[in-house]
Amino acid sequence: MGYRMIRIVKPLLLLCCGWIFVAQAAPRVLFVVGDTGDCDLEGTAQVAAAMRAQPDVAAAVLVEVGDLAYPVATRERLLACHEPHFGGFAKRLAVPGNHDWRDPGAAGFFSLFPEKLPRKASLGGPWALLMLDSNLRGEAWVEQLKWLDETLAASHGECLIAAWHHPRWSSAKHGDNAFVAPVWQRMQGKVTLTLHGHDHHFEALPALDIKGDPSAEGVASFVVGHGGAVLYKAGWNARSERAHYGQWGFMRLELDGKDYRWSAIGIDGKVVDSGSGSCRPSL
């Protein structure tokens, strides 16, 4: 029996013998890491090696959630302790942390990542990343909140991820950060998940509301601060049962249509924790 092909831009349909096969696009893969670039420890090199061992590393987007070199992220320190390990990624997105801002004006950070923050970056398909700077204060902080209001209002129906350094909620040493509450409140019902560093551990937090209580209308978040710096122990206030301490690693995040899958991967390449979810289109 013969066959014929019907070609359209996306997806590709193959009609054969009464069946329709849909060729799906490959998921977009993100590697998320934070709190890295410590030349005095071997963790940074080990985390980067574990990333490079992933089969689809060439197509992955590296998302860094701040503190890219220790103790002060000067350009010289970044070139010595960070870039030899992560500089080879073809596509990199980053937000600064407090150690990046210890260099006046975060000059070292912005010499590598000169794009002005806050900004919105497309991740392909319905997904986009909102990149914020949680180190801003005063008028700069107010202007960032204004930008966030306008961007969220213009992003109706999109699948939004947000990244900034200081997590609203965390179970480790630094704990919760109340000063980012205005950001967290604005994202309720509009953002699917958020990515952070600052506390040096890995944690997958459930969807939480503005008070930190579990809520189907809340926002899920991840703390991915175990990228090579000194690791932290648990703090006094446990926010989730999915916090992991004492091992360096990174998070793999796959965006597949309107679904996502995540894996916390250690330096040995083994999956420490994993899960999945679906986009909640921005209201």
18, part of any domain: no
Beta bridge partners, 266, equal: 249
User: What was the pLDDT predicted at 271?
Assistant: 98
Instruction: Answer whether residue 103 is part of any domain.
Output: yes
Q: Classify residue 8: in a domain, yes or no.
A: no
**Cα(227)–Cα(46) distance, rounded to whole angstroms?**
9
Q: Is residue 2 part of a domain?
A: no
Nearest residue to 44 (alpha-carbon basis) of 227, 166, 218: 227
Assess whether pLDDT exceeds 80 at residue 170. yes
Distance CA 224, CA 91 (A): 19
Structural domain that includes position 272 = 26-278
Whole-prediction pTM value?
0.91
Residue 131 lies in a domain: yes
201 belongs to a structural domain? yes
- In the chain, what's the furthest Cα-to-Cα distance? 72
* Domain contains 9: no
Q: Would residue 20 count as lying in a domain?
A: no
The CATH number linked to 74 is 3.60.21.10
How much is the pLDDT for 20?
Answer: 53
- Specify the number of domains making up the chain: 1
The per-residue pLDDT for range 94-107, each reduced to its tens digit, is 999 999 999 999 99
User: Are the beta carbons of 267 and 49 closer than 8 angstroms?
Assistant: yes
Q: Are 187 and 155 in contact (CB under 8 A)?
A: no
User: Greater confidence, 237 or 23?
Assistant: 237
Instruction: Output phi, psi for 249, to 5 deg.
Output: 175, -165
